[in-house]
């Protein structure tokens, strides 16, 4: 596709529910990032994939967060047993190589009630 596509755009989850957020990067992009943006804050790094390999997951806030990119294209961020503090916009970004100005998707706004 022309850009990075994320779905769903909005997700409301009850506390304790599991959620899965999907990211379709730009075709052929090797690098894929997930960021979390809390209200009024800048995006914060969660994890990075180079093709299907997850090379850095140092930003994942807890073991309830899990990300995968099994075939080196689509990626899924899963959050188990959601908590209120997980409410944020989750942004996915991709780039064709080790470049700096990568392309962000529009994000998924997660609200945990």
Partner 1 sequence: DQQVKQNSPSLSVQEGRISILNCDYTNSMFDYFLWYKKYPAEGPTFLISISSIKDKNEDGRFTVFLNKSAKHLSLHIVPSQPGDSAVYFCAARTNAGGTSYGKLTFGQGTILTVHP
Chain positions contacting partner 1, by CB under 8 A: 4, 31, 33, 35, 40-45, 48, 50, 55-56, 91, 93, 95, 98-107
* Residue 10 beta carbon to partner 1: minimum distance, rounded to whole angstroms: 10
d(CA 19, CA 77): 8
d(CA 36, CA 107): 9
Nearer to partner 1, 1 or 14 (CB): 1
* Residue 60 beta carbon to partner 1: minimum distance, rounded to whole angstroms: 13
SS3 33: strand
* Residue 45 beta carbon to partner 1: minimum distance, rounded to whole angstroms: 5
The length of the chain is 113
């Amino acid at each position: 596709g022309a850009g990075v596509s994320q779905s769903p755009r909005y997700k409301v989850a009850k506390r304790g529910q599991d959620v899965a957020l999907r990211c379709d990067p730009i075709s052929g992009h090797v690098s894929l990032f997930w960021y979390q943006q809390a209200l009024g804050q800048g995006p914060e790094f969660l994890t990075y994939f180079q093709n299907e390999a997850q090379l850095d997951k140092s930003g994942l806030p807890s073991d309830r967060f899990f990300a995968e990119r099994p075939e080196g294209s689509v990626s899924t961020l899963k959050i188990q047993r959601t908590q209120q503090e997980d409410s944020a916009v989750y942004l996915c970004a991709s780039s064709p190589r080790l470049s700096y100005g990568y392309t962000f998707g529009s994000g998924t706004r997660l609200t945990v009630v």
